[in-house]
Structure formats: C-alpha cells, structure tokens
Amino acid sequence: MTINRGIGGIAGQIAAELRHAVRTGRLTPGTRLPATRDLAADLRVSRGVVVEAYEQLVAEGFLVSRVGSGTHVAPAAAPRAEPPPGDREHAPYYGHRPTSPDLGLFPRERWLAALRHVLATAPGDALDYGDPGGVPELREELAGYLSRVRAADVRPDHVVVTGGVAQGLSLVLRVLAEPGRLRLAVEDPGSDRQLPLLRRAGADPVPVPVDEEGLDVAALAASRADAVLVTPAHQFPTGVVLSPARRAALMAWARDGDRIVLEDDYDAEFRFDREPVGCLQGLAPDRVVLSGSVSKSLAPGLRLGWVVAPARLAAAVRRARGELDLGSPVIEQYALAHFLRTGGYDKHLRRMRREYRVRRDALVEALARDLPEVRVRGIEAGLHVYLELPEGWDAERLVAAARELGLVAAPVSRTRGAGGPPAVVAGFARLPARRAAETVRGLNVLMSGHFRK
Amino acid sequence: MTINRGIGGIAGQIAAELRHAVRTGRLTPGTRLPATRDLAADLRVSRGVVVEAYEQLVAEGFLVSRVGSGTHVAPAAAPRAEPPPGDREHAPYYGHRPTSPDLGLFPRERWLAALRHVLATAPGDALDYGDPGGVPELREELAGYLSRVRAADVRPDHVVVTGGVAQGLSLVLRVLAEPGRLRLAVEDPGSDRQLPLLRRAGADPVPVPVDEEGLDVAALAASRADAVLVTPAHQFPTGVVLSPARRAALMAWARDGDRIVLEDDYDAEFRFDREPVGCLQGLAPDRVVLSGSVSKSLAPGLRLGWVVAPARLAAAVRRARGELDLGSPVIEQYALAHFLRTGGYDKHLRRMRREYRVRRDALVEALARDLPEVRVRGIEAGLHVYLELPEGWDAERLVAAARELGLVAAPVSRTRGAGGPPAVVAGFARLPARRAAETVRGLNVLMSGHFRK
C-alpha cells in the first residue's frame, strides 16, 4: 500500500486501498485485517488514522468488527465481477437526421449573451425548484410568439414548457391514455422513429394514408381513432401542406366526435415562398394540442419545446410533468425568454430562412438538372425534400450514396407497407449551396448501373 | 380596420385583423366578406394584398371561398369562449424547501465560465440530438467523481444522466414495474412529496418504519416488497445515518431475494464531522441503483442528476429515456463535465461545506440555548435538522412561526400515522449564522403561551 502525503486525507487513501482490495478479491471475506497499531507502524502513520479508515469501511459494510475478535472482511463483501473485455457499449451517433438544422449556424455568441444576461440578473430564487409547467416569463413570451407568428389562440397558462416535441407528446398521451390505452391515428407514411415513444406513452398507433392534400380524413373517420397526430404545416416525410378542405374536414371530425388533434408544428418556421399557414390550434383551441420546439430553429441539443393545450388538459399535463421530473432546467428557459423578448429569435429565424432557401434552391435545381428521373416533392417548407424514385431504384443504396457525399438522407417506409414508389427524404440544411451541384452529380454517378433503369 | 404601413407585411396585418374578428364573433359563420377589390379600395392597398390575406385565412380554415359565390366566414369558425375574469391561474411558489441550498451562493461566475468554455469549444455536432443516456464526457466525469467521493463501483456505461433524482426514480420504476406494478417499500417517516411520483411510475408504496439506526430491515423483510427506496446517507426527514448492521442486513435482504435497492444519495455531499460513509451501491453494484443530483450542491433549477445502475438496467433506463424525451439538454451537461474535470465542483463543495457547517452550528447552539425543550436530531449531515417537539406542541404553528422568521421548516407526517412525538424539519442552509440566535429567540416568543407546556 502506498500513501501519498500530498493528496487528500490519509485515512481516506487507506480506506480506498482496502476497499479496492476487497472488491478485487485480493482480500477475501473473513480475512482478518492487521491490528490498527501494526498497520499504522507499517505505514508510518498515526494509529488514529488507521482506526478512522477501518471505521469508515465498517460503516460502509466492507469490514466487520467485533469486540475481542479484531476486524475482518465482511462475509457478503464479494468481489465484483470484472466486465469481460470488449463489453463496453459501442456509442452510436444519434444526430445527423435529414431534418436537423445546420448546427454550424447556431448563434453561439448571442446565446451566450442571453445566458450571461440571465446569470447577471435573475434573482437567486429563480434557480430554485420552479413551476413544472415552465417559468412564467417563457410561457408569456411563447404565448405572444405563437399568437403572432403561428396565429395560435393561446394564453400563457395554456402553455407547458417541455423538453421538446417528443416529451410533449409523451406527456399529453399519458394524460389522454389514462386509464386505458388510446387509439391514435398516425400519418402513413409518417415518422417511424416516433412509434416506440407513442406505444410507451399508452397509445396504439393506427396508420391513416397521406395523399397529395395531406391526411385522408375520410380514412381517419373510418379508423375509429380517439385522437390523431398530424404534421399539417409540412407533413413528415412527404412535405405536403394540409389543404384547406382537409383542414376543415379534420376540424369537423374533431368537433363532432369530441376528439383531440395533436398538431406537431414541425418545420413551421421554414416556409419559403409565402407566409406560413396558421396552425390548426388557432382554429379550434378547445380540440387541438399544439407542440413545437426550438430543435429546428436553434438546436436539438437544447431540448426545449412547448405544448399548447386547452386549459384543463394543460393543467393535467403540467401536473404529470411535476410527477415525472419537476420540469425543465430553468437557466435556458430564461435565456430563450430573453432571446424572444429582445427580438434575437426572430432575427435568427429570418437569417436562417434566407440561408436555407438558398440551399434548398441549389439542391432542387441540381436534382432537376442531373437526376431528372427523381420526382422532388415537399419543397415549400422545412429542411428536407421528399424524393420519389423511379420503380426499381434502391432507396437504401441512394441513402448510403447520399450520406457518403455529405447529403443526409433516410429511406421512407410506409407503416402499412402499402404501395407507392420507393422514396427517400434528403435534408438540405447542412449542404452548402456551392456544394449542391457536385453532390448531385456524384449521386448520379454512384446510382448509375444496374440500380437505375 | 387600421393598417400600419411601418410594421411587417400588410397582408399579414389584414389577415390578423380578420382572424381576430372571426374569433371574437364580430364576424359570424356564413358572413360574406367584401369583394377583394372593394376592401382594397377602402384600405387603400393593392388588391393583391387583400387576395393574399383572404387566401391565407382560407388556407387556415377561417374563411371559405367558392367560385361564383365570393368569400365567407367558415361555418365551423365559432368564436372562442373568452375566459371568465379572474380565471387566470394563481402561480404558486415551488421552492423554499427545508432541503434547498442557499441559492445566493450559486457560483454564477464560474458556471458562466463553464458555459462560455462549452460554447467556445464544443463542435457543432455536440448540439445535435445526443445519446439519451447523457453526453459521454459527463458520464465519464460522474463515474470518476462517484467512485472517488462516494466509493461507488461504477463505469461510465452504468451512468444515465437524468433531469434530477425525481426523473431518475420515475424512469427506473417504470422499467422495474413493467408489465405489472411494483411493490415498493418506502421509509416511514419519509418524503410524502414523492408519493404521487412513485404511484404514477407504477409503484405501490409500502411504508416501513425508520428508527434510531435507520430503516427497520426486519419490518422490510415482512413487508413482502420487491424493492425499497432508501436515503442511507442522511435519512429524510429524520437525518439518521443507516447503521453498519442495518447496511449489512439490507444488502443480505437484496441479495437473498434478488431484490433491488433504490439508493437516493440525498445530502451525501454535506457530511460535516467526518468523511461521508460510502454509498450502498459500492457494496453491491449488481443490486443497488444509486440516484443523485446537483440540486443540493449547485441548484435545483439546473435539473441535472444521474442514475447508476447495473448494466442491463442502465441500458433499459437509457432506452426508456430515449422513448420519453430523447435526453437532457446538452450544454449544461458539458458545463458540468467541465466543472467536474477542472476541480471547480470540488472547490465549490468544500466552500459550501464550510459555510453550511457554520450555519448548522449556529442554529444548533441557538436551539440548545433558547428552545431546550426541543430535541434536535440528524445534525451529522445535510441541510436540515429534525426537531422533535414536546407532546402538545403544534407542529404546524411552529412551521408558520419559523417561516415568518426566515427559517424554512415543514411538518413531518408519518405515512401510516403511527405514533411518535410531533416533529418538524428545519433547513439551515438559507439562515445566515449571525441571524440564528435572534431567529430562535423569536421562535421562543412566538411559541410561548398555550401551545407550549
């Protein structure tokens, strides 16, 4: 045993050495330890230090001590099984989705300035346990922002701050699914990635087809679902914007059957060619739950979003949040409130919209020129395009080729496996405009040969 | 309708005015709108602007337009019910718990420096969707810290970063309670506040008494529980440290019955008079799930904590997190990793420990001098003391009096209503040492009279 007099408490070091010896099996259960006097002499430390170390390990349960029989390694103190070599988990990478923003454009300086402002001005109590529904300042700013930009019909007490759209859905579904399970219609094609979350939250997903106008509301009515999850501003993955007729039919379906529409206001910030359509929630605030986040507008890693729900449901969601994790971290909530209040958020969005529009145009042009067989859809909004491939093309191969060239893509699978041509989604947010042409030419080359008609 | 040419798009303003008129019932369903040409002339704007506004509202579903019959307010566009006056929710204050730290001592400068470091150095991908189990850098630092300071037996892949102890418990219980419910022993007295969380996560709490040595393990064995939730380092609320014999008995109970011990390592950072006892997890890493957080050491508002679990359970908890909310915000995870790596966390803890010790000593001394009838317990660690009151004293009244004097206290209720003297917990973290004497003298005065023997 080696003692380093420079570092920390000597008793603590002796305890740590002995603990390690017990754990690794070097000291086996029942082994008698040297008398404190002897060990102290060996180590040239005072006896009190050894007594302290032994007492520590007795208190922890590694050693037992009985009057008149000395100190022994405890019977239950079995060595731990060392993990087999190579047992360390492989760390997968969770990012680089076709819908992810360009994180190189995250406004680091301005976000830091917002954090600095918060830490310089927030009272101490602001760092205490807070309202599980979110800090009041942020709920107020979000209510104003969503009313102004998304034509939502919202008061601050209808807003619950969440850790993103995923958590918002989890919470709302858990509340709606009490006490049984919820029959939840989902778009087909849709976000397969969400299905495990929906099921865990108590929902049984029922796929309903999406066509050129968006969700097929007649099929929805036939599905006997209690609620539906939709992406009306820019359907994932097809990019279709829900048509006015379908919006009306969807609202009628909800009202007539006292049903709930879960509106994922995914990609609504990025409508390029005209004003974005207002959210469904603004039409029927008593029937629609609106979810959104800053994952596309700022960064997914912030895990910051919101739910807007009718008052009673909002109160239940907030209670559920209080009984799950006591709410979101507060400093970044205050920072986002500050960013919204001072116009930094709007300014950042305007800048991003301009930049992404240029990137979208470059990709769409290059596709039209160099991959004319591919039908490009859903370009009005969002950070990805939907590519319908000719029959016989291999979507998986196109995805691999695209990723190799720096274009993040993912294959589209129909939930029900119903027909339709093979398709992929491709995200243009991370593809600089100047690289679009060479990327698509590269795709053309890689996709030539027998994978192509 | 007034148009402000200085602000935003004119079409957007017209749309917003009309939307508002429909919502408030000023324009009722079926009402025909003026022809675009007429409204444009009235407002002195170009006709295209009015067309754009109408189209926007048709797209949103507020208006309907049919060829040859003009534009009408949509049939379903009912006005929203305005909230009755005074319906705004009263915002309760969630903080000021007896166990809360002094947030005036939060290291704002150093935390901001850590945030600045992260924003200056983290690659863009660090802000993308991340591992739902937490960023690898933080899991590594926490594994090192918990091994070193809490004698835990932990590898980084056993660590799951959480939004605090509450969320850690929620996640672990949900996994353990699949598919049925979990019979979970809890300490009595214990944290009543946690009970709704435990029930919502699928556990049925079974109270087991706590005595002078901590949890009564014989009673635990008789309870037929599948798992137990304990606070061994400093029991809440009594402040008892679990005795060595009980630690051994508890570990034997867990091993013999293949049961799980949930260790809430509450207050472990603040052991004042000697080295803190190592955590239970270090004794039986295959049977114990350790939860902790920075809520006491830094601030509850950070919502940052951890779970250390056996490999298989850790993987399941991480998966559950991925299917709940995709993980904790990343910037503050990186900041905490930096704070741990550079020694800032240890330094802050040492400073806090010194300061809280002084405050504890001042309160305990003042109580001994001016309220000698009160028995003070659980002073070895943590941020609160447990006060046993003489029979006949009114705990609620003492709590109210203490809060009036700036000492945050809460009454203790036995889950089973079993006997014992009336008691309260009082937090000394926010009571400066120089104010302890006058506070206790004030309590003495306020508690005099018929509430006192």
Report the CATH number at residue B283.
Answer: 3.40.640.10
- Say which amino acid occupies A294: V
Query: Cα(B152)–Cα(B282) distance, rounded to whole angstroms?
Result: 4
Residues B62 and B130 in one domain: no
Residues A31 and A160 in one domain: no
Query: Cα(A32)–Cα(B180) distance, rounded to whole angstroms?
Result: 46
Q: Residue B288 is inside which H or E element, if any? A: strand B288-293
Average pLDDT over residues A281-297: 96
Asked which of B300, B326, B343 is the last residue of a domain, the reply is B343
pLDDT bin (cut points 50, 70, 90) of residue A178 is confident
Q: What values do phi and psi take at A291, rounded to 5? A: -120, 140
- By Cβ distance, the residue of B103, B127, B129 closest to A94 is B129
Q: Does residue A212 register a pLDDT over 50? A: yes
* Beta-carbon separation of A112 and B115 below 8 A: yes
- pLDDT at site B166: 96
* Beta-carbon separation of A166 and B326 below 8 A: yes
> Can you say whether the dihedral through the CA atoms of B7, B13, B17, B19 is positive or negative?
negative
pLDDT bin (cut points 50, 70, 90) of residue A89 is very low
Lowest-confidence pick of A8-17, A341-350, B243-252: A8-17
Of A253, A321, A317, A243, the C-alpha closest to A287 is A253
- pLDDT at site B89: 45
Query: Helices A331-341 and A136-150 meet at what angle, rounded to 10?
Result: 40
Q: Buried (b) or exposed (e) across B79-106, using 16+ Cβ within 10 A?
A: ebeeeeeeeeeeeeebbebbbbbbbebb
ipTM for the complex shown = 0.87
Q: Does residue A2 register a pLDDT over 90? A: no
* Beta-carbon separation of B23 and A95 below 8 A: no
Nearest chain A Cα to B126, which residue?
Answer: A301
Most confident by average pLDDT, A84-93, A157-166, A189-198: A157-166
Residues B173 and B234 in one domain: yes
In chain B, which residues have their Cβ closer than 8 Å to the Cβ of A126? 301
In chain A, which residues have their Cβ closer than 8 Å to the Cβ of B88? 155, 157
CA distance B358 to chain A (A): 21
- By Cβ distance, the residue of B103, B157, B286 closest to A128 is B103
- pLDDT at site A449: 64
Residues A336 and A298 in one domain: yes
Residues A116 and A73 in one domain: no
- What is the CB neighbour count within 10 angstroms for residue B60? 24
- pLDDT at site B78: 56
CA distance B61 to chain A (A): 6
Query: Cα(B427)–Cα(B418) distance, rounded to whole angstroms?
Result: 24
Asked if residue B60 lies in contact with residue A247, where contact means CB atoms within 8 angstroms, the answer is: yes
* Beta-carbon separation of B324 and A167 below 8 A: yes
Nearest chain A Cα to B117, which residue?
Answer: A112
pLDDT bin (cut points 50, 70, 90) of residue A87 is very low
| pLDDT, chain B, mean | 90
Q: What values do phi and psi take at A427, rounded to 5? A: -90, 130
Residues A41 and A150 in one domain: no
Query: Cα(A376)–Cα(A364) distance, rounded to whole angstroms?
Result: 7
* Beta-carbon separation of B16 and A255 below 8 A: no
In chain B, which residues have their Cβ closer than 8 Å to the Cβ of A15? 151, 275
Burial (Cβ within 10 Å: 0-12, 13-18, ≥19) of residue B256: exposed
Give CA torsion, residues B4, B10, B16, B19, to 10 deg.
120
Residue range of the domain that includes A1: 1-82
Predicted TM-score of the model (pTM)? 0.87
Distances (CA, A) of B346 to A291, B274, B275, B338, B380: 40, 17, 14, 12, 20
Residues B147 and B264 in one domain: yes
- Say which amino acid occupies B58: V
Tokens of B431: 């009571």
Query: Cα(A127)–Cα(A64) distance, rounded to whole angstroms?
Result: 43
* Beta-carbon separation of A301 and B329 below 8 A: yes
Of B154, B142, B146, the C-alpha closest to B313 is B154
In chain B, which residues have their Cβ closer than 8 Å to the Cβ of A163? 163, 325-326, 328-329
Within-domain flag for A369:
no
Asked which of B343, B375, B404 is the last residue of a domain, the reply is B343
pLDDT bin (cut points 50, 70, 90) of residue A335 is very high
Asked which of A293, A328, A343 is the last residue of a domain, the reply is A343
Within-domain flag for A307:
yes
In chain B, which residues have their Cβ closer than 8 Å to the Cβ of A196? 323
- pLDDT at site B26: 84
Residues A172 and A23 in one domain: no
Q: What is the 3-state secondary structure (H, E, C) of chain A?
A: CCCCCCCCCHHHHHHHHHHHHHHCCCCCCCCECCCHHHHHHHHCCCHHHHHHHHHHHHHHCCEEEECCCEEEECCCCCCCCCCCCCCCCCCCCCCCCCCCCCHHHCCHHHHHHHHHHHHHHCCHHHHCCCCCCCCHHHHHHHHHHHHHHHCCCCCHHHEEEECCHHHHHHHHHHHHCCCCCEEEEEEECCCHHHHHHHHHCCEEEEEEEEECCEECHHHHHHCCCCEEEECCCCCCCCCCCCCHHHHHHHHHHHHHCCCEEEEECCCCCCECCCCCCCCHHHCCCCCEEEEEECCCCCCHHHCCEEEECCHHHHHHHHHHHHCCCCCCCCHHHHHHHHHHHCCHHHHHHHHHHHHHHHHHHHHHHHHHHHCCCCEEECCCECCEEEEECCCCCCHHHHHHHHHHCCCCEEECCCCCCCCCCCEEEEECCCCCHHHHHHHHHHHHHHCCCCCCC
- By Cβ distance, the residue of B19, B128, B278 closest to A100 is B128
Q: Does residue A372 register a pLDDT over 50? A: yes
Asked if residue B314 lies in contact with residue B158, where contact means CB atoms within 8 angstroms, the answer is: yes
- pLDDT at site B84: 44
Within-domain flag for A360:
no
* Beta-carbon separation of A311 and B83 below 8 A: yes
- pLDDT at site B85: 42
* Beta-carbon separation of B61 and A300 below 8 A: no
Span A110-160, pLDDT tens digits: 999 999 999 999 999 999 999 999 999 999 999 999 999 999 999 999 999
Span A47-56, pLDDT tens digits: 989 998 998 8
Give the mutation candidate from A19, A127, A193, A294 for the B interface (greatest B CB count, under 10 A): A127
* Beta-carbon separation of A324 and B170 below 8 A: yes
The count of structural domains within chain A is: 2
Within-domain flag for A245:
yes
Residues B26 and B172 in one domain: no
In chain A, which residues have their Cβ closer than 8 Å to the Cβ of B11? 275
Within-domain flag for A53:
yes
Q: What is the mean pLDDT of each run of 10 residues along chain B (453 residues)?
A: 64 87 85 91 90 87 83 74 45 75 96 97 93 96 94 95 97 91 95 92 95 96 97 92 94 95 90 85 96 96 98 95 96 98 95 96 96 93 93 89 91 66 93 95 81 53
In chain B, which residues have their Cβ closer than 8 Å to the Cβ of A299? 127-128
CA distance A289 to chain B (A): 15
* Beta-carbon separation of B58 and A244 below 8 A: yes
Q: Residue B394 is inside which H or E element, if any? A: none
Within-domain flag for B95:
no
Structure-token match 């020694």, residue found: B343
- pLDDT at site B164: 97
- pLDDT at site B66: 80
- pLDDT at site B79: 55
Nearest chain A Cα to B252, which residue?
Answer: A76
Query: Cα(B418)–Cα(B188) distance, rounded to whole angstroms?
Result: 9
CATH of the domain at B47: 1.10.10.10
DSSP one-letter code for B271: B
* Beta-carbon separation of B128 and A196 below 8 A: no
Span A321-332, pLDDT tens digits: 999 999 999 999
Within-domain flag for A102:
no
Nearest chain A Cα to B123, which residue?
Answer: A104
Residues A76 and A209 in one domain: no
pLDDT bin (cut points 50, 70, 90) of residue A451 is low
Q: Buried (b) or exposed (e) across A60-90, using 16+ Cβ within 10 A?
A: bbbbbeeeeeebbbbebbbebeeeeeeeeee
Within-domain flag for A27:
yes
More confident residue, A69 or A258: A258
* Beta-carbon separation of A282 and B19 below 8 A: yes
Residues A12 and A145 in one domain: no
- What is the CB neighbour count within 10 angstroms for residue A10? 18
Residues B67 and B2 in one domain: yes
